[in-house]
Structure 1
Amino acid sequence: MNQLQSMRVFVKVADLGSFVRAAGAMELSSAVVTRHVADLESRLGTRLLNRTTRRLSLTEAGATYLERVRHILTDLEGVEQMVVARNHEPVGTLRIVAPVVFGLHSLAPLVQSYAARYPAVVPDVTLADRHVDLVEEGFDVGILASRHMRSASIVTRRLTTGCMTVCATPAYLVQHGMPTRPEDLLRHPCLSRPAEQGGEERVFKGPNGEVRVRPPNAIAANNTEMLRQFALLSMGVAILPSYLIGRDLASGRLVRLLDEYRLPPIELTIAYPSRLHLPAKVRTFIDHLVEHFQPESAPLPSTRGASSVRTVVARPAEPAVPDVDDEAPDTHEHETTRRLPRVARTRIAASSQF
């Protein structure tokens, strides 16, 4: 029989001094109560109760056992209440995993406001740009790009959608010219993630449908903040998340390119191991994230004419367009280049979806 239940029955019999009264109090039959006590005595190899026709009394061993069992049951009840409280009240360590750049640029203020609201929760944040197994690695909640989720058993919920932006510095554009079509990227040094992490073929949707290009990597890095630094040093054209370069675009340090074209959006997802008995610390953190991002999760604008597909094969880089001070034909591209100083001074509305 269940040993803990037998302990509870024994304590109730000892307190009430009767098998019958204990049975009534615990809504059990007298035979079951008697069996529980007999099972304990058999397990311990000693008599716990002296039984007469009129009354019950504890043996010396029974009195000692009763005292210790009371403590055990009291401690067990306290542990159960603590666990229940943790499931209903936000408390304890909350292990969070998120992409590195998103964590550095967007997550910190959210964690700060959550910790202020729920001071009994201790956030433990891990930043990682890799595949993450929430269950195996013991994370309570993850904010992940879909390509970085590996567990099949996790529960997911879309958090927000952001956009990728093609950009470069005004100084770079003055020297190399401004690309106006995705194909133009083939003759520009491009800053991208390694191919195995998504820095390969780019699919643009534009006025005449899809255009696929494979821009040549001048520099590859596995961290988008590093790519941003390279872009700010005028080392090439970069394709970066809007949340990372919003201030750079607004200040004119970077210029948004290829406005008529859109790249596939980035979708960030909340992931957690299970819906079953979801701890309050996880539930409230998820609600906190959704409360912050949901108003900004509007769909990206659609583009015109998505019926045709053009594939552009990479070719060796062509010579850079001459500087505006050189004697060059008055082409549309150079006309665009001469206007760059005014572009750099224009404040561009930055997307803050992330």
Structure 2
Amino acid sequence: MDKLRGMETFVAVVEGGNFTEAAQRLEISAVMVGKYVRELEDRLGARLLERTTRRQRLTEAGRVFFEDAKRALEQVRMAETSIERLRSSPSGTLRVSAPTTFGAYVVAPLAATFQQMHPLVRVELELSNRIVDLVEEGFDLAVRIGQLGDADLIAKPLTLYRMVICASPDYIARHGRPETPEDLASHRCLSHTAWHGRNGWKVKGWEGPSHWPEPDFTCNDGNGLRMAAIAGAGLLLQPEVLVAEDLARGRLVEVLQPHLPESHPVHLVYRQDTRPLPKLTHFIAHLIEHAGAPASP
């Protein structure tokens, strides 16, 4: 049996709480997890886990071995990382977290061009609007809009996240072009289902009622709202990165430019490391070079 694999499996079982979670984490079957644990116990000549149909617990020997095994595996990971640092070109797996829309329309294409330049890098991009824990979840880099989160992280400014209000030329021809925020009350305003009342449609200079009328069109996806706007469903308030090509091609027309919501800063955040890996430093430089020109507020 591979000693390190057995130790890694046992640690995954303890940290995951059961064989099923360990199997998912290691991408093997629960049967194989059980086999590794049994072989490890046979080799050590000691029972490490007491299992019932409902739960499992560590034996005294298991508790001692668990702590030592974790330290041993960490030493192995440090040794592997030290070799990777010696490489002159970026390589290895790069785990990145980014907000859904910005990640899809900005980070994903740039990650693709980065891989073309550095084919030894494997990219794992997670698109989510939640704030991930870089240390606990093993991310190398996170893109954050507004709130930065953990103060121990290094943060580098990237750009501004600008919102736009726009509509299709057909919609404007049929309903007119809004010139002031008050005009919105007589228009069909598309709304995201995550918004509540005026939570989403925050525009400068609005002094009307405290709540918007019930929206005529809602969707739980920004791209779905974009497609509806292109088809003439109404006014759209979404990030500029989502509709930049549509604006450039004339499929959508921007309105109410002086009354747009306030832009928010976008930062790249990553863990402090006196010797960051080439895969990270090169990717950060790539993002800043190609997405780092601040948009006008």
* TM exceeding 0.5: yes
Matches of 2:146 and 2:76, distance apart in 1: 41
User: Secondary structure of the equivalent of 1:126?
Assistant: strand
Matches of 1:222 and 1:183, distance apart in 2: 26
Matches of 2:191 and 2:130, distance apart in 1: 16
Matches of 2:263 and 2:134, distance apart in 1: 24
Structure 1 residue 97 corresponds to structure 2 residue 84:
no
Written as runs of structure 1 = structure 2, the 5 A alignment for 1:1-354 is 82-89=80-87, 90-147=90-147, 149-193=148-192, 194-195=194-195, 199-200=199-200, 202-204=202-204, 210-211=205-206, 215-216=212-213, 217-294=215-292, 296-297=293-294, 299-300=296-297
- 2:162–2:295 CA contact under 8 A, matched in 1: no
Structure 2 unpaired stretches of 5+? 1-74
Report the CA distance between 1:227 and its aligned residue: 1.5
Q: Measured at CA, do residues 279 and 189 of structure 1 come closer, stay the same or move farther in structure 2, by a change above 3 Å?
A: same
Matches of 1:198 and 1:116, distance apart in 2: 43
Report the CA distance between 1:261 and its aligned residue: 2.9
Aligned residues: 217
AA aligned opposite 2:107: L
AA aligned opposite 1:190: C
Residues 307-340 of structure 1 deviation map (CA, whole Å, 9 limit, x = unaligned):
xxxxxxxxxxxxxxxxxxxxxxxxxxxxxxxxxx
- 1:188–1:236 CA contact under 8 A, matched in 2: yes
Q: Measured at CA, do residues 256 and 146 of structure 1 come closer, stay the same or move farther in structure 2, by a change above 3 Å?
A: same
Matches of 1:198 and 1:160, distance apart in 2: 26
Report the CA distance between 1:299 and its aligned residue: 4.5
Report the CA distance between 1:124 and its aligned residue: 0.9
Residues 231-275 of structure 1 deviation map (CA, whole Å, 9 limit, x = unaligned):
112222111222221221222221111133332113221111224
Report the CA distance between 1:96 and its aligned residue: 0.9
Report the CA distance between 1:122 and its aligned residue: 0.9
- 2:108–2:125 CA contact under 8 A, matched in 1: no
Report the CA distance between 1:228 and its aligned residue: 0.5
Matches of 1:227 and 1:104, distance apart in 2: 16
Residues 148-189 of structure 1 deviation map (CA, whole Å, 9 limit, x = unaligned):
x54443222111114211111122223322211011112222
User: Secondary structure of the equivalent of 1:195?
Assistant: coil
Matches of 2:277 and 2:226, distance apart in 1: 38
Matches of 2:76 and 2:135, distance apart in 1: 28
AA aligned opposite 1:125: L
Q: Measured at CA, do residues 223 and 137 of structure 1 come closer, stay the same or move farther in structure 2, by a change above 3 Å?
A: farther
Report the CA distance between 1:202 and its aligned residue: 0.8
Q: Which stretch has the larger CA shift, 210-219 or 266-275?
A: 210-219
User: Secondary structure of the equivalent of 1:203?
Assistant: coil
- 1:121–1:281 CA contact under 8 A, matched in 2: yes
Matches of 2:196 and 2:149, distance apart in 1: 16
Percent pairwise identity: 32
Matches of 1:126 and 1:79, distance apart in 2: 23
Q: Measured at CA, do residues 127 and 91 of structure 1 come closer, stay the same or move farther in structure 2, by a change above 3 Å?
A: same
Name 1:338's counterpart in structure 2. none
Matches of 1:85 and 1:153, distance apart in 2: 26
Matches of 1:126 and 1:139, distance apart in 2: 9
Matches of 1:110 and 1:119, distance apart in 2: 14
- 1:114–1:285 CA contact under 8 A, matched in 2: yes
Matches of 2:177 and 2:77, distance apart in 1: 66
AA aligned opposite 2:276: L
Q: Measured at CA, do residues 86 and 180 of structure 1 come closer, stay the same or move farther in structure 2, by a change above 3 Å?
A: same
AA aligned opposite 1:161: L
Residues 38-57 of structure 1 deviation map (CA, whole Å, 9 limit, x = unaligned):
xxxxxxxxxxxxxxxxxxxx
Q: Measured at CA, do residues 189 and 134 of structure 1 come closer, stay the same or move farther in structure 2, by a change above 3 Å?
A: farther
Q: Please say which structure displays the higher CA radius of gyration.
A: 1
AA aligned opposite 1:282: L
AA aligned opposite 1:218: D
Matches of 1:190 and 1:212, distance apart in 2: 17
Matches of 1:254 and 1:80, distance apart in 2: 52
Report the CA distance between 1:121 and its aligned residue: 1.6
